[in-house]
Amino acid sequence: MNTILHQLKNNGLVWQGATRMPQRPSTPTAPEDYLATHIPGGLTDHPAVEIGSPAGIGELRLLLPKLRANAEDNNRLLVWIGPPHKPNAEALHHAGVALSRVLILHPKTAKHALWAAEQCLGSGACHSVLLWHSRLNVAQLQRLQQAAGRGQAQLFWLHDQHSLNPALPISLSMDLQPHPEGLQITVRKCRGSWPPAPFIIDMRQHWPKLTLTDPVASSQNLIIFPGSRAS
Amino acid sequence: MASELWLYLHFPSLQLDSLYADQQHPLVVVDKTNNRVIQLNEVARERGIRPGMGLGTAASLDHALQVAEHQPHTEDEKLYELAAWLYGCTSDIALCSPNGLLLRAHPMLSLYNGLRSYWQALQQRLAPIALNYTYACGHTPLAAKVLARQGYTLVTDDAEVLLNALQRCPLSVTDLSAKQQSQLKRTGVRYLSELLSIPGEQLTRRFDHELTLYIGRLTGRFSHPQRFYYPPAVFRQTLTLLYGIENTQRLLPPLNTLLTRLEEFLRLREKLTSRLQLELVQQNKAILEIQVESAQAEYQASHWQALIALKFETIQLSEAIHAVILKVTSLEDKQRQTEDLFLGRQGKQTPLQLMSVLQARLGKDALSGITLVDDFRPEKSSQYCPAHRNDLPPSGTRVATMRPLQLCDPPVTLHEKVSLRHGPERIQTGWWDGHPVQRDYFIARSIQGQWLWVFRTPESHWFIQGIFS
């Protein structure tokens, strides 16, 4: 084959429609998955998700429904690797995350963090891994994604910059910006479809106190149940 | 007394056989006190080296000769290990230092349905250990010992055969002291047949009491009580390396032999362990201690091998290692692991196995779980705990609703300008345990759009307690 094509392929600059990911036994899309209406399938079916976001705007709240869905019907672990702050047991418990299945790792070096992430993803003993890590190269990411496929786990890679390298072979990559109603999301890359135009996630229903405009005020006659409990 | 039957196993080259070394080169064990070869391997024998030869002569016969110093205590330890190993198929074992084991055979005969099958079972048991040994039966402990040390390989309970064999033995293989032997030699007694033919009353008159006692025990006229081996409750084995090893990766193969023995030890007892203690002995007898822990108790050598390999990656050896000691002191009972039949195993590892692997590489402190404590102070209500020990919060635990997912611990001084959106929520508690707080909490939004959980102290100092990530 053409050497230039080869190079392009090896660097992950070409996406080929023919090389579809092997079909994983897909978990059903979480009913509260905020992204489901904008990206086909929502967060499901992506072994690795890159999230570039400033801290504290709702990046974890965006993932909570998916984390809950992943934890359903199994007793696998949710692993936090190198979180910038201490996870709050109260909030997690309130959000429906089983604390007994939360494992927090504080590796001393970045190398150890990546090794731990690969072990966790490939072990089959974890359903999701949250990894705070500033930079990943193509080879590292590919190893992590393969491990995630092996262990049927999902990797959420969080960092506080804009999505770094468009050539990274990641299956879903997005940038998060604060917005009065919740979050503004720019999808940089989405395997299997064109990235949609930037859209806004409305968190007014689920997190009314963490948005600037209150939906109750705008529709006076309706009283909305707290979202996460609504049946 | 003729109904008694003893079996003696004599290991002439115990230290040599138990050295971890390839047996392709000539190898001798030398007694340091007189520099004489006392044990040698087959290759050395082919080169013309003989037991009792001086070290200088031996070295001149082969320049590639490897020499190890004779260490009686390692032989004792090895003997002890052998007894532990044989305990699996025979009950009464007495240790005869420096290199023999005495088995009381007659109580075992009805179990094994005869001497022949008993001996087969013992041989099978000894086969994997790969030691050179000679063996003999006897109607008294001492008779069996003399025959085995003479080099017999004799398993029979025929009294006549045994007596004939015994009478052909020279005095040098008996336990008599050098002085007694030379005394007897001067009177013309060289073989046991001659000694045994001396009538009893003459014996007491002509020789000392000790000789009489020995002869009495040998022939079975006097009883000879034995102290039998009793298996220890803990595992402790030593492996001496022939040469120093400085690379941790190269320590792994010799360690494997120890782990395999541990597996056997645990399997026989239906036990598991979650912690190994490794002691690496350096040249200057300094000991490097390493603890290897597993979150899930295990007995299999392969599991421990993987964990030790990971642990070794983090360890730098400053000096060469000459011996490895493996200790296991805490044993646990096997417990049934529950696994959902329909979910099946979704990966290669269980959560506990994964934690063992992570712990071995990252260190124990790098892993933690998180647990909920019934307290109003945020920094106390959410606490790190040992991984996988976090219990479910007691039902009825009060859970506040609007809490950030991440906490700043300790709280950070607020420097930027924020707008307070909700609050205040006052938390005033802890006056009884020395950490009183009085704080007014607000949900605030920074100019960059971050949602912060801030509080104000009575002194109007502002801190960030958490972020609503």
Q: What is the pLDDT of residues A163-200, one digit of tens each?
A: 667 778 888 889 998 988 888 998 888 887 788 888 88
What whole-number distance in Å separates Cα of residue A70 and Cα of residue A93? Answer: 16
At A2-42, the pLDDT tens digits run 788 777 776 666 666 654 444 444 455 555 677 888 887 78
The pair of three-digit structure tokens given for residue A211, joined into one six-digit string = 């948005």
| Per-residue pLDDT at B20 | 66
Residues of chain A neighbouring B388 (CB-CB closer than 8 A): 100, 103
Q: Are B323 and B245 in contact (CB under 8 A)?
A: no
Question: How confident is the prediction for chain B on average, in pLDDT?
Answer: 84
Nearest by CB to A74, which of B343, B400, B408?
B343
CB contact under 8 A, B345 and A125: no
Distance in Å, alpha carbon of B415 to nearest chain A alpha carbon? 16
Question: What CATH architecture is B235-333?
Answer: 2-Layer Sandwich (3.30)
Asked if A87 lies within 8 A of B405 by C-beta distance, the reply is yes
Q: For residue range B300-353, what is the model confidence (pLDDT) as tens digits? A: 888 888 888 888 888 888 888 888 899 988 888 776 655 556 555 555 678 888
Q: Which CATH number does the domain A42-229 belong to among 3.40.50.300, 3.40.50.2000, 1.10.1040.10, 1.10.3720.10? A: 3.40.50.300
Is B404–A91 a contact, with Cβ atoms under 8 angstroms apart? yes
Which residue in chain A has the smallest CA separation from B449?
A178
Instruction: Report the chain B residue with the minimal C-alpha distance to residue A83.
Output: B406
Which residues have C-beta within 8 Å of that of residue B15, sequence separation ≥ 6? B29, B39, B68, B70, B71, B74, B75, B78
DSSP annotation of B72: H
d(CA B347, CA A152): 8
Q: What is the pLDDT of residue B16?
A: 82
Of A73, A83, A116, the CB nearest to B358: A116
**Burial of B418 from C-beta contacts in 10 A (0-12 / 13-18 / 19+):** buried
Contact A55 B381 (CB under 8 A): no
Contacts of A55 in chain B (CB under 8 A): 406, 450, 467, 469
Q: Is B346 left (phi over 0), alpha (psi -120 to 50) or beta?
A: alpha
Q: Looking at residue A16, what is its pLDDT?
A: 65
Q: Where are the domains of chain A?
A: 42-229
Give Cα separations from B392 to A73, A93, B18, B62, B389 (angstroms). 17, 10, 51, 71, 10
Q: Taking CB atoms and an 8 Å limit, are B382 and A212 in contact across chains?
A: no
- The two counts, helices (H) then strands (E), for chain A are 6, 9
Residues facing A189 on adjacent strands: A173
Closest partner residue to A89 (CB to CB) among B340, B346, B382 is: B382
Are A115 and B391 inside 8 Å of each other by CB?
Answer: no
Please enumerate in sequence order all residues whose Cβ is within 8 A of that of B202, keeping only pairs 6 or more positions apart, or say none.
none
- B241 within 8 A of B321, measured Cβ to Cβ: yes
Count other Cβ atoms within 10 Å, centred on residue A89.
27
Cβ(B210)–Cβ(B180) below 8 Å: yes
Using the 8-state DSSP alphabet, how is residue B228 labeled?
Answer: B
**Residues of chain A neighbouring B358 (CB-CB closer than 8 A):** 105, 116, 119-120
Instruction: Determine the residue type at B405.
Output: L
Domain boundaries, chain B: 6-25+65-219, 235-333, 372-467
ipTM over 0.95: no
Q: Residue A124 is which amino acid?
A: G
Residue of A nearest to B344 (CA): A74
Residues B451-467 as b or e (16 or more Cβ within 10 Å = b): bbbbbbeeeeeebbbbb
Mean pLDDT (10-residue bins), chain B, 469 residues = 79 80 77 85 84 85 83 85 85 86 89 89 86 88 89 85 87 86 87 85 83 87 87 83 83 89 86 87 85 82 87 83 87 68 61 86 87 84 78 61 87 89 86 87 90 91 91
